[in-house]
Structure 1
Amino acid sequence: MRVTHRFHPLFGRDFEFVAHRQNWGEDRVHLHDENGELFSLPAGWTDVAPVDPFVVVADGRCAFTTDGLLAVADLIDRRRAQRDGDEEVRRITP
């Protein structure tokens, strides 16, 4: 099994595959490192998961997927709403 996530420090390295399962609501693979220690990674960061068609078509020309950008936009909206709610509590009214 190979790590395929470009920005992961283990990118390109091969590990002994142990299991592929759902853990904590996430699709994960469990592996043994060179010392026999068990660790896990999201399946999408490895060659166990099918290749995302968007990634194939983009061929390195796009740093972000649509799903990734939508997730970031949602996070920003939630943080902005949380921040705005905090300001309401701190505001002193006459």
Structure 2
Amino acid sequence: CTPQENAASTNADQQLVRVTHPFHPLFPMQLPCVGRRCNPHGERLLLQTEDATVWAVPPQWTDLVSPDPEVVMGNGRSLLRVVDLMELAALVERLSRTR
């Protein structure tokens, strides 16, 4: 991930982004994107709520990214994708080793 410009933009420049992740507290709000940032976990969109709070949200959790084919094919029948389950299993294993 390469650093990107985070300068404030005018309201006319701001793109509206809808949060599509069903478990995110901002779902299904449509909010202005006021910037982008990168952190160790990847790119994050900076979305601003009406009370001026800025939330950092992965682009995959918004309508800027096409829906995951696995989720579309599951048609709401599964809460987690295979990759999510694998990540959860790895986390549980790491946490088990630290005890």
The equivalent position to 2:50 in structure 1, one of 14, 28, 34, is: 34
Q: Displacement, 1:21? A: 4.7
Determine the structure 2 residue equivalent to 1:45: 61
CA–CA separation in structure 1 for the residues paired with 2:50 and 2:64: 19
Q: Note closer, same or farther for the CA distance 1:24–1:4 as it changes in structure 2 (3 Å cut).
A: same
Q: Is the CA contact (8 Å cut-off) linking 1:18 and 1:32 kept in structure 2?
A: yes
1:19-53, Cα deviation, whole Å (9 max, x unpaired): 34533341211122213443321112111122111
4+ runs deviating over 4 angstroms: none
Amino acid at match of 1:78: R
Q: Displacement, 1:69? A: 0.4
RMSD (CA atoms): 1.7
SS at match of 1:78: helix
Amino acid at match of 2:68: D
Q: Who wins on radius of gyration, i.e. which is larger? A: 1
What's the TM-score, normalizing by structure 1? 0.74
Tell me the matched-pair count. 83
SS at match of 1:64: coil
Determine the structure 2 residue equivalent to 1:62: 78
Amino acid at match of 2:40: W
Kindly, what percent of the aligned residue pairs are identical?
A: 36
SS at match of 2:27: coil
Larger deviation, residues 26-35 vs 51-60: 26-35
SS at match of 1:73: helix
